[in-house]
Amino acid sequence: MDLERARAGIPARESAPDGEWSVRRITERNAAKTYTCPGCHSSILPGIAHLVVWREDSLFGPETALAERRHWHVRCWQTRSFRY
């Protein structure tokens, strides 16, 4: 069993001032599509490790939160600003 691949499927939970989040790591090997990062609005190309992030505390429930998940560059997610 590929331990890295198995771990990649388990989302981590993160608490931040902007809410509760599930964060799943996508490895280079599993990154097969192009996405737009909401942090920098640049493309995340196939073969680039990144994160898939969704709210854990969505007012509309877990199905909606998962449907609204977004793909982020790791650095963009780590350095996102919290706006209040």
Mean pLDDT within 4-30 = 84
Whose tokens are 């560059």? That residue is: 73
Residue 45 has pLDDT above 50, yes or no: yes
| Residue type at position 28 | E
**Alpha carbons 46 and 82: distance in angstroms, whole number:** 28
Q: What is the enclosing helix (H) or strand (E) of 58?
A: none
pLDDT of residue 63 exceeding 90, the answer is no
- Tokens representing 45 are 């190309």
* pLDDT band with cut points at 50, 70 and 90 for residue 4: low
- Whether pLDDT at 16 is above 80: yes
